[in-house]
Amino acid sequence: MFQWKNDKTVVTAVGLMSGTSLDGVDAAIVQIEGSGLESQVRLLHFYSKAYDDALRSTLKELCDPQRSNVQQVCGLNAYLGELFADAALKAVEQAGMRMEEIDFISSHGQTVWHMPEAVTGRPYLPSSTLQLGDLSVIAKRTGAMVVGDFRPADMAVGGQGAPLVPYGDLVLFRHPEKGRVLQNIGGIGNCTVLPPNAEMHQLIAFDTGPGNMVIDSLVHALSDGQLHYDESGKWAAEGKVDETLLQELLTHPYFKLSPPKSTGRELFGAEYAVALLERASHQAPANIIATATAFTAHTIADACRKLVMPRCQVDEVIVSGGGAHNKTLLSLLQSLLPEVGVTTASALGVSDDAKEALIFALLGHACLLGRSNNVPAATGASCPTVMGKLALP
C-alpha cells in the first residue's frame, strides 16, 4: 500500500472541481491542519476558469450517446488534463505562491457519464462512471503529486460513486446543536444531512434532482445562445409558474426513489430540456424559466420534507454552488420551507463557489493518508473505502 512520506502538521493543496453544469473549472488553494474529521481548513485563494462556448458545446456532445465518439473521449481526456493543470498553475500564480509550496493537487475531473445502476440485460454495461482530465497530464504539467478519479473505488464496493461531498460537509459544517441540510445546487442538486453533533455513520446524503442544469439549458435555448444562465434569477422573477406543468414534472420516477440515489445529465440533461421546452412552447419565455426554477426549488424542498425531516431534526438549509446566487430560487426555497432558515455557505464563512473544490482537497488529503473518505450511508457502499488514484510528477 502507498504510504505518503509527510510529517507536516499543515499541508497546502489545490482542489480542482468541474461539475455537471459544464461551466468551467474551479481551483481552490487551501491549507489543511490535522486530519480526518478534526481537520481545520483555510481557503487561501480561489480561481475559476470558464469553459469557452466551443468547449462547452463539445462536452455536451460528449455527454450525448447519440453524438459522442471514442476519438473525442480520448482527446478531451488529455485536453482537460492540460486545462486543469493551467487552472492550478494560474491559481498558484494569482495567490503569489510557487508550485514548490503545494504539497498535492486533488482533482474531481469532468463527469461525462455516470451510471450508478447496471443496465439490465447488457452484461457489458455494469454500474460505472467516467470523469475526464488525465491525472498524469496534470502531474507532469504542474510538477505536483495529483490525486483524482474518486468515484470508481466507491462503486467497486457496491456504492453509487456519489455523492462525494458528505465527507467534507461533515468536516466543515457539523454543529453541536443544530441539524443542518447542506444543499449544493450545481448542475445537479445534492444534499448532505447533518444531525446535531453528527458522526459519519449518521449522515444522509443523496442527489435531490436537477439543480441549474435544466434552467441553464432553457436559458441558453430561449436566448438564442446569448445567455448561459439566469443571472440572480432575474428572468424567472419576471415570469409566472405554469402550475399544471410543474406538477407533471414532479411526477418523474426519480423523485419517488429512496436514498441512496444519484443522478446526472443522463436523466436531466439536453433531451429532458428539449422535451420540456416542447411541452411549454405555448408559454412566454419568462414563464418557462420561472417554471423550471420552481421545479428545482420544489424538488429540493420535497426531498427535505419527505426524505429528511421524518428522520432528522432540520434547523437550517445551507445552499452552495451556482444556485446560491439565484435570488429567485432561494426565495422560493424559503417560502416552501418556512419553518427552517435558508442561508448560504458564504454567510457561514465558506465560499459558495469554492466549497466543492475545497472539499476535493480534503478528499485527496484523506486518500494520501490512507483513510477512508467515502460515506457508505450516502452512497450505498458495502463498507468504508479509500477513494482516489495517484499520479506522480
Could you tell me which residues are annotated as the binding site?
Answer: 19-26
Please give the Cα distance from 53 to 158 (Å, whole number). Answer: 37
Please give the Cα distance from 280 to 271 (Å, whole number). Answer: 14
* Cell, residue 234: 432575474
Please give the Cα distance from 53 to 34 (Å, whole number). Answer: 41
Instruction: Kindly report each contact of residues 380-385 with a partner whose C-beta sits within 8 Å and lies 24 or more positions away, as own/partner.
Output: 380/158, 380/159, 380/160, 380/260, 381/154, 381/157, 381/158, 381/159, 382/157, 382/158, 382/159, 383/157, 385/153, 385/154, 385/156, 385/157
Please give the Cα distance from 6 to 79 (Å, whole number). Answer: 31
The sheet that has 316-320: what strands, in order across it?
A: 204-210, 188-194, 180-185, 316-320, 341-344
Output the known binding site for ATP: 19-26
Please, where are the H alpha helices in the chain?
53-62, 70-94, 135-142, 151-156, 166-173, 213-222, 234-238, 243-249, 265-268, 270-279, 285-303, 327-336, 355-368, 376-379
Amino acid identity, residue 390? L
DSSP string, 54-77: HHHHHHHHHT-TTT--HHHHHHHH
C-alpha pair distances (Å), 1 with each of 149, 152, 382: 18, 18, 21
Cβ contact 84:25 at 8 Å? yes
